[in-house]
Amino acid sequence: MARGYFLLNKAYKQWRITPGHYTELPKIAALQAATIIRFQPFRPLHISEASSTAEARCNEIFACTYALAILERHFVPDTPEKRDFWLRLLDILAQADIETLEPYVVDIDMQCVRPLNEYTLAIHKDDKLVINSLISIFELISDKGQQFWK
């Protein structure tokens, strides 16, 4: 997953970041969350038998918690006033199956280990909306988002 993040970050920088700029925390959070969703580190045995959101959305909750930690925010899904927002965010994360990383994922599945500098990945057209949406959401959640509403 860590190597996948670095590949996605490199592709993102080639797509969106002009020389002299750097990746800000909301962008790091979004790319980390998308990478976690792509690799699905948790595999529920019987997803259809999940008895809670936590069981059904374990990867999304992990991705969200990880991203929010980068932003120094806490994931509190069961507060009534925030529940709908968190459920929508989990739904968005569930759809963040980043196609950009497919060549790397295929290599992993084939147990082919290549140096990262051998990959030349470009952000897949289907990933642009997902990445932009996640970055926007995490910008609004972050301290940076507070400046938008003054």
Query: What is the residue-level pLDDT of the chain in tens, covering all 150 positions?
Result: 999 999 999 999 999 877 666 668 999 999 999 999 999 998 766 767 777 777 888 899 999 999 999 999 987 767 777 888 888 999 999 999 899 999 999 999 999 999 999 999 999 999 999 999 999 999 999 987 777 765
CA 40 vs CA 6, 44, 95, 140: distances in Å: 17, 10, 12, 25
Q: Give the residue numbers spanning the domain of 122.
A: 2-149
User: What is the rounded CA–CA span in Å between residue 46 and residue 96?
Assistant: 21
Nearest to 63 by CA among 140, 144, 116, 137: 137
pLDDT at residue number 9: 94
Burial of residue 49 (CB within 10 Å: 0-12, 13-18, 19+) is exposed
Nearest to 123 by CA among 2, 3, 1, 17: 17
pLDDT at residue number 80: 79
pLDDT at residue number 57: 86
User: What is the rounded CA–CA span in Å between residue 108 and residue 118?
Assistant: 14
pLDDT at residue number 70: 95
130, 95 contact by CB (below 8 A): yes
The angle at the Cα of 118, spanning 116 to 124, to the nearest 5 degrees, equals 80
15, 129 contact by CB (below 8 A): no
Name the token pair of 76.
């509190």
User: What is the rounded CA–CA span in Å between residue 15 and residue 10?
Assistant: 9
pLDDT at residue number 59: 93
User: What is the rounded CA–CA span in Å between residue 89 and residue 91?
Assistant: 5
Look at the chain and report how many structural domains it folds into: 1
